[in-house]
Chain A
Amino acid sequence: MLHLILFLVFGAICVAGAINLLAQSHPISSALSLVVVMASLAVEYLLLGAEFVAAVQVIVYAGAVMVLFIFVIMLLNAGEEERTKGSKVAMILGVPGILTAGLLIAWTLIHRSNAGSVTLGALPGSPQTIGKLLFHDFLLPFEVTSVLVLIAIMGAVVLAQRAETPNLPPGKEI
């Protein structure tokens, strides 16, 4: 019962944050609602017993990735977004379609699936067991992701650096 109450409370916070992300027009407000979504998702992971995933969710997502987002928003001085014709078309056609599809999927999942239920902390995903799995069964994917992150770092540096134009006179830089 406690499990269900906690799930519903933090699920409601999660959905409210997601809807607020869509409703806000300033990027900083959207970023802060995304932090709310991620923090409440971390609680949902804890309810499922995934302690390691919950910790990584807070550290990596709510910490590192969101700091990156907010840093870029402040660096580019992003302001209110303006509505255009394209977004109106998407609003009229896309939103009802997505809502219908979502309701259909929710109805099917609740009424037609017998996926069973989970108890509080059913599967303890402690860092020890996850680490054993990661460095034993998933060793090759783990090493491949390290290469991926290295490439991503180099790509970010190359893309974000200022283009060098040494031959142009001052005031004519692109």
Chain B
Amino acid sequence: MVPVSYYLVLSGILFSCGVVGFLIKRNIITIFMSIELMLNGVNLSFVAFAARWGHLSGQVFVFFVMVVAAAEAAVGLAIIIAVYRTRETLNVDQVNLLKL
């Protein structure tokens, strides 16, 4: 027997780590990984609530979140490659124009 609140706390810790990484990291790829960490934290709370309330919809939502995360990773990494090709840097402080 594990209280659901423990799972929620773990999910909150992962989400906070993602937010902190998003704030302090300056490498655009690591910032992207922090976003994936946040999505994983949210997924854990989805599954925990699905188990608590005995409803499988939560697990189906996790499936959709994963699909969106995979699509986001593909497009985002393509954007990173395009940015690197024109600017020759991965530091977000030096990327201040939206134009490629």
List A contacts of B21 (CB < 8 A): 21-22
Q: When the two chains form their complex, are residues A65 and B36 in contact, meaning their CB atoms are under 8 A apart?
A: yes
Q: When the two chains form their complex, are residues A153 and B81 in contact, meaning their CB atoms are under 8 A apart?
A: no
Interface bin, chain A: 35 or more
**Complex Cα–Cα for A68 and B80 (A):** 12
List B contacts of A155 (CB < 8 A): 74-75, 78
Total number of residue pairs linking A and B with CB closer than 8 Å: 245
Interface centre among B6, B30, B33 (most CB of A within 10 A): B30
List A contacts of B63 (CB < 8 A): 52-53, 56, 130, 134
Number of B residues near A (Cβ < 8 Å) is: 70
Interface residues of B (CB under 8 A from A): 1-10, 12-14, 16-21, 23-27, 29-30, 32-34, 36-37, 40, 43-44, 47-48, 50-52, 54-57, 59-60, 62-64, 66-75, 77-82, 84-86, 90-91, 93
Which chain A residue has the least Cβ–Cβ distance from B37? Answer: A18
**Complex Cα–Cα for A173 and B1 (A):** 63
- Chain B residues touching A, majority SS: helix
- Chain A residues touching B, majority SS: helix
Q: When the two chains form their complex, are residues B24 and A87 in contact, meaning their CB atoms are under 8 A apart?
A: yes
**Complex Cα–Cα for A18 and B70 (A):** 20
